[in-house]
Amino acid sequence: MQHLLKQVEIYSARKANRDNRPEWVAELVDTVADLFEPANGEGRVGFDCQPRENCWEVGLFLGSLEFIGGMKDGSAQYANFHFDVLAFLELFSEVELFRWNSVPSPEELELPAETPPSFLTIEGNYGENFVRVNIYTIPPADSGPGFRQYPDGSIKPA
């Protein structure tokens, strides 16, 4: 029950934030989402956009598969994917930072516990706008699943 309430809370917060995004941020999200290629099966790109003091911060990831019913009920399977890094770099007119972050123990680095274990970060100008984009290898802990698989084997978007 708490999980469902949390999902409703997250959905409501994201819905409210969607209306505040500038058009260029929505365009960036759509463009970067096309650079994900699921290694097998289907993928559903999730994202989070937050205004920061000096820029917009955008995080993208492939949603997980949540099992409903059966022996794996409630467990999640992360999506394997390929990401076109060269095309990603070419979206920016100027790049100030481009790095791979490996965070096997977030508590040692004083990062939030929900920080994914590794992610790619780029900071730079997308057109005339300064932005930070994180490409996460797994969804953040507070994101919902991309798909749900039911005991009969059917898979549906979450």
Single pTM value for the model: 0.78
Please give the pLDDT value at position 47. 95
Please give the pLDDT value at position 153. 87
Please give the pLDDT value at position 144. 85
Please give the pLDDT value at position 19. 55
Please give the pLDDT value at position 107. 58
What are the residue ranges in the chain where pLDDT is below 50? none
Please give the pLDDT value at position 41. 77
Please give the pLDDT value at position 4. 54
CA distance 91 to 118: 22
Q: How many domains is the chain built from?
A: 1
Domain that holds residue 153: 2-157
Q: How far is CA 26 from CA 41, 119, 132, 136, 147, in A?
A: 26, 21, 14, 18, 22
